[in-house]
Structure 1
Amino acid sequence: MASMMKKGKRGAAAYVHADCSNSSSPQRLYELLAVLLNPRKAIDEWETIDWCKWLMAGGRTPDEFASIVRRYDNATTCGLVWTANFVAYRCRTCGISPCMSLCSDCFKSGNHDGHDFNMFRSQAGGACDCGDTSVMKDTGFCDRHGPRAQVNKTAVPSDLMCVAEAVMPCIILRLIQHFREYRKSGDRDSHLVVIDEADSFLTMLHEFSAMGAAMRRVMTGALTNPQIYKNLVNCSEESSGSSEYHRYMAASKEMYTEAVLSLPNPEPPDEYRDCPSLQEQLIHRTFLEEMVFWTVRFEFPQRVVCLLLNMLPDNDYKEALTEAFVLHYSRISMMLEKAKDPDTLSNRVVHVSVQLFSNESLAFRMVENLKLLHVMVISLKYMMSKILIQNSLHDPDKNFHYVVDCGSNIMKEHCYWPLVSDLNNVLSHRPVAVKFMSDDNLLEMWFAFLSMFQGMNVNFREMGQHVEFEPNTYYAAFSAELESSAYPMWALLSHLSDPSTVELTRRVLDTCQIALQDWLDAIHFTDSVMDDNLQVSFHLPLHRYLAVFMCQAIKHQGLSLKDVLPPMDVLKLIMMHPLRVQVGPTTSYVCHQGSRNIVTSLP
């Protein structure tokens, strides 16, 4: 390799380019890369990164090469990725998905005169959807994006990207090797060091991605090809001791296996144990899938997240990234409840998920192939099941119902927010919502989840002292019910607008009534006469679902009140708790949370 390096970076790159143009296996290049990308060297070494840029250029300067590659950018979508506090636009007139957004340049270059639009400051980050026909109407595209804007674009010369196609898999492998050297320790910020050490290397990958569709196609090809991943990361047992590199890769695999086992997933119901996205053992088949794993394991570092999102204009890659994200989704829920900074992590999770689940056809394929809806509901149920306390309505000795503890961090820090945000996003797609309401198992799981909020945060009337403050449990309880119960309810209801969907409404009502009866049995409420006028809970999501879906069936779907009302004896029991809320006096109550007594006021 000394002779190659003596040629200088430009001379060596020209030699490599000629070799790659004439051979599918440029051996001299691979020998050079083995030296440059030796995993024993620091990943952020400037000389190595500069060599990679010159090799890619194939005899030109890196700047000349980048300029030439950009001429062949035939991407149909913008895909500009931004982080929090970026100013973007949303046009409701042009939007197909409620989550669509546009960068300033694309919005100003498009025709949105007289449209219903707003300018907003992004909270979690996002990406420009200009040119994406699955998210917005083509009438709102700017003149640079959309299928029609790319007609008659010149094809990429066959030899322009030949070196990049050979080098890119090795560059991605080097990043994966660096991630694998992360070791779990008592320091919760150790993953930040790993990302910081790779900052220059990640910057190089960002620069490659910024060259446009031609280079992104090379990158996505390396990330999503199972054979490339298998060839580069697997070392056979026979050869594992034959060289220092093979010994390194064997140790790397052990560290990787240990890291995978350290990221558990919720225990799924027996009938879903074979679902790939719920299996206990994670199996990665591509660099992309392992990259998503490390993204989750490192709590969604911004640099890696943006790199993954930068390549979304490639539709095949977008589907592969969505599949990889769903495969790790249940484990993300586990990370959220343990995060040191759940608010930041939540925003970064949604930064990714909103780009993937806003596409209706893609979201539906995830529901069909990877049981995305089941994964979401199981993850939510599991998160809430860890903070259950005994319900204190009526006689505690006869009440066997359990509700969420509104004083827990999961509730106070809104750790569930990314999960319900994603659920609301996918339920905005009619085929997904229909699938949800057509599946009896899903409905049963969903109402079991809602039951965890039913009767929570019980308030007891304060007879002695004036109430001077309201605790945080009030805010936690009301916001949780609004986000986790009410928003999905309205999302489902929006698809039940005429008699053609009446059977779906019946399914929801039947499951809701069963859940309500189970709740009444669990709290031992068998008599419509209440003898405990000193307590009240404002949280009755099962009652709300029953009332709202009954109203929808009667007003818009042709059913009569007689068709939807439960038997009279059951109805009398069901109506008592909402009536208690309605007639509660404006006075002071004490809110009981576990063993604590918290003074509050009845609104």
Structure 2
Amino acid sequence: MYSGGGGGNDGGGPGDWDDEFGSGSGASGLYFDLEGSASQGESIHSAARRIMLRGRKEASSYISAECSRGGPTPELDAVMDYLFDPEQPIDNSNSIEWVRWLISGGRTPDDFASIVRSYDNHAKCGLVWVPHVVAYRCRTCGISPCMSICRDCFKKGDHTNHDFNMFLSQAGGACDCGDTSVMKSEGFCSDHGINNRANKDPVPGNLLAVAEAIMPKLLFRLLHHFREYSHPPIQSHLHSMAVYKCEEFGNMLMDLNNMGELMRRVMTKALINPDLYRRFIEQPFPDTKHGRFLRSSKQKYEDAVNMFPSPEPPDEYKHLPALGETLHHSTLLEEFIFWTFKFEFPQNLVCFLLNMLPDQDYKEHLTRTFVMHYSRIPSVLEMSKDPDTLSNRVVHMSVQLFSNESLALKMVEELSLLHVMIISLKLMMSKILIQNTLHVPEKNFHYVIDCAKRVMKEHCYWPLVSDFNNVLSHESVALVFLRDDNLIDMWFQFLSMLQGMNVNIRETGGHVEFEPSSYYAAFSCELEASAYPMWSIISHLKDGTHAELAKKILTFCVNSLQEWLDAIYFCEPKLEKREMMHASFHFPLHRYLAAFTCQAVTTMGMTLGDILPSPDLLTLLMIHPLRVQDLVPKIYDF
């Protein structure tokens, strides 16, 4: 709840703030016009002191009047510069309380919050929750399989006789009630949806005057905080410290956000305005204390961007904007996304950014920015000391962005999202390849994923395959994938990395008490990274209208299988005695061939003669699945 924090005591006298900052605290000039905003001959410190001695309520009325007149706000700038001197900690309770009062414009913070909420007219819920919170998913109402709604919206809606389930959220989420791109309107609760918008009186012109003037200053102060903790080489404890030391400041922003649509619009307007961002970072910094600070802050930001790992895509894809070597930011939001990646998706920052998703312009800007940074996810996961928690936080954000079919398709068409996802996944896995040991190792030049590596054991790849499955759940996106030969070819190159991985050697001399951990890693990887996308694609091939697409993917599959057989030097349909002691359970290319063949014959009107490879190739392809079947009774004999 947005609280006044002791609304009865609004005096905020000299002892209340001099003790916090000390009377000698200099002005940083961070927020106001660098030419100076205090009256001529008056220092910023003195100007702030003069205003703040009035007490919080009277000072907020005074500042509100200044902001309502329009134009420059030197008095507000002076107070803000004093309260949030960047040389002081950002989480200063007194400064935060002053901001709550200033934004309220002469009212108490509680009264102001109630008034702003009374004008809330949003059609979407958008409530954001963290991991381990109970939520609901209704398959009857859902358009996207990732659709979820909060407890209140579920109870206020009518889901009688629907196919729904209650679940404990593992990665966090956001409520989709009211969003027609994710769920059907008949599933909306009584509070959300376009038809549930109430007719509100016009919003008073000066209600948000101070909020509009102060919001950019608050957001930029938070960016400065992250910049200060970006000293190389950055350590994981600095990640935690950076997040912990702005927790109260972040809670204040969340409280403002929770006032509803009006305040969210003030925030999003500041976050996605390129002119505003340019004004903060491109001024000619004077040779003064605050000018030197701004210059230093900008240098730290640029150093952090330049040192952030960049992808190494194939030469033919280096021209793609989202695979560029250098990151360029033009809005506050874009820099916030950078720090989100840099500091491993801190929960409070993720929730803050997701809380504004009901604003459609903001959602598209956030999604576009997220895609532009997407290729850095593998590096962030590989460097993390807690990839499991990080994976959940990445998906907490990405699932909200990619569940909207029209927006996902737009990112595919404009920013080559599918290419970025597959290339990112391939780059991550290509770092852990080892030579395959099936058959005769000295003649085998096929390379497979090493399931004993940390990337596999800790499922670092999971956010990438989860996002890929999410976007493939949209028919329009899946059809783009199926129509693009280069995408299919890259995908089968990735599947080949799983083909024949984690070779098992039969032990005849003694009992194996425990299976190695790579055993589980291999099976879970094939399920998540191979089988799930396969079933997502197949679900869209329902009849003969897409028969040519099915035939094309089968052709790629057969070609990949032939290349694999050549690479493992398997030319005859027989196994030597030594080879009988080695086996793999992982043949995703075989499973793709079987699954798509079945779909083509049963639902698309194709015959086996249309799609099966030559009898000689089929004979070779049968050996490895039969080998797995042959192993089953032997395993149980032990």
Report the TM-score, using the length of structure 1 for normalisation: 0.95
**Equivalences for 1:230-269 in 2 at 5 Å?**
230-236=278-284, 240-269=285-314
How many corresponding residue pairs?
A: 588
* 1:462 Cα deviation from its structure 2 partner: 2.3
- CA RMSD, 1 decimal: 1.5
Please state if 1:569 is matched with 2:616. yes
**Equivalences for 1:385-424 in 2 at 5 Å?**
385-424=430-469
**Equivalences for 1:332-371 in 2 at 5 Å?**
332-371=377-416
- CA distance in 2 between partners of 1:177 and 1:91 (Å): 42
In structure 1, the residue matched to 2:44 is none
- CA distance in 2 between partners of 1:468 and 1:65 (Å): 66
In structure 1, the residue matched to 2:82 is 35
**Equivalences for 1:47-196 in 2 at 5 Å?**
47-182=94-229, 183-185=231-233, 187-196=235-244
- CA distance in 1 between partners of 2:556 and 2:310 (Å): 28
Please state if 1:541 is matched with 2:585. no
* 1:461 Cα deviation from its structure 2 partner: 2.4
Q: Retained in 1: the 8 A contact 2:136–2:165?
A: yes
1:214 maps to amino acid:
L
- CA distance in 2 between partners of 1:161 and 1:507 (Å): 58
- CA distance in 2 between partners of 1:472 and 1:34 (Å): 55
Compare 181-190 and 343-352 and name the one that shifted more.
181-190
In structure 1, stretches of 5+ residues that fail to align are 589-600
* 1:391 Cα deviation from its structure 2 partner: 0.2
- CA distance in 2 between partners of 1:14 and 1:416 (Å): 53
Evaluate the alpha carbon distance shift between residue 602 and residue 546 of structure 1 in structure 2; reply closer, same or farther with a 3 A threshold: farther
- CA distance in 2 between partners of 1:129 and 1:585 (Å): 45
Q: Retained in 1: the 8 A contact 2:123–2:192?
A: yes
1:297 maps to amino acid:
K
Deviation per CA, 1:4-43, whole angstroms, max 9, x where unpaired? Answer: 2233222222122222222233233223322222212221
In structure 2, the residue matched to 1:489 is 534
**What's the % identity of the aligned pairs?**
57
Q: Retained in 1: the 8 A contact 2:543–2:603?
A: yes
Please state if 1:433 is matched with 2:478. yes
- CA distance in 2 between partners of 1:131 and 1:154 (Å): 22
- CA distance in 2 between partners of 1:77 and 1:214 (Å): 13
Compare 499-508 and 456-465 and name the one that shifted more.
456-465
Please state if 1:21 is matched with 2:50. no
Compare 16-25 and 300-309 and name the one that shifted more.
16-25
Q: Retained in 2: the 8 A contact 1:235–1:246?
A: no
* 1:580 Cα deviation from its structure 2 partner: 1.7
1:225 maps to amino acid:
N
Secondary structure in 2 matching 1:403 = strand
- CA distance in 2 between partners of 1:498 and 1:25 (Å): 64
- CA distance in 2 between partners of 1:41 and 1:217 (Å): 29
2:317 maps to amino acid:
Y
In structure 2, the residue matched to 1:287 is 332
1:424 maps to amino acid:
N
Report the TM-score, using the length of structure 2 for normalisation: 0.90
- CA distance in 1 between partners of 2:607 and 2:72 (Å): 73
In structure 2, the residue matched to 1:455 is 500
Deviation per CA, 1:344-364, whole angstroms, max 9, x where unpaired? Answer: 111111111111111111111
1:317 to 341, 362, 365: 362
Deviation per CA, 1:499-533, whole angstroms, max 9, x where unpaired? Answer: 11112112211211221111111111122232232
Q: Retained in 2: the 8 A contact 1:461–1:587?
A: no
- CA distance in 2 between partners of 1:602 and 1:80 (Å): 54
- CA distance in 1 between partners of 2:542 and 2:148 (Å): 27
- CA distance in 2 between partners of 1:10 and 1:197 (Å): 28
Q: Retained in 1: the 8 A contact 2:126–2:174?
A: yes
1:339 maps to amino acid:
S
1:425 maps to amino acid:
N
Secondary structure in 1 matching 2:628 = helix
**Equivalences for 1:545-560 in 2 at 5 Å?**
545-560=592-607
Q: Retained in 2: the 8 A contact 1:459–1:535?
A: yes
- CA distance in 1 between partners of 2:415 and 2:75 (Å): 43
Q: Retained in 2: the 8 A contact 1:235–1:250?
A: no
Deviation per CA, 1:154-180, whole angstroms, max 9, x where unpaired? Answer: 332221111111110010000000100
- CA distance in 2 between partners of 1:585 and 1:68 (Å): 69
* 1:70 Cα deviation from its structure 2 partner: 0.6
- CA distance in 1 between partners of 2:541 and 2:323 (Å): 30
In structure 2, stretches of 5+ residues that fail to align are 1-46
1:111 maps to amino acid:
D
1:499 maps to amino acid:
G
Q: Retained in 2: the 8 A contact 1:235–1:249?
A: no
Please state if 1:330 is matched with 2:398. no
* 1:101 Cα deviation from its structure 2 partner: 1.2
- CA distance in 1 between partners of 2:238 and 2:76 (Å): 34
Secondary structure in 1 matching 2:204 = coil
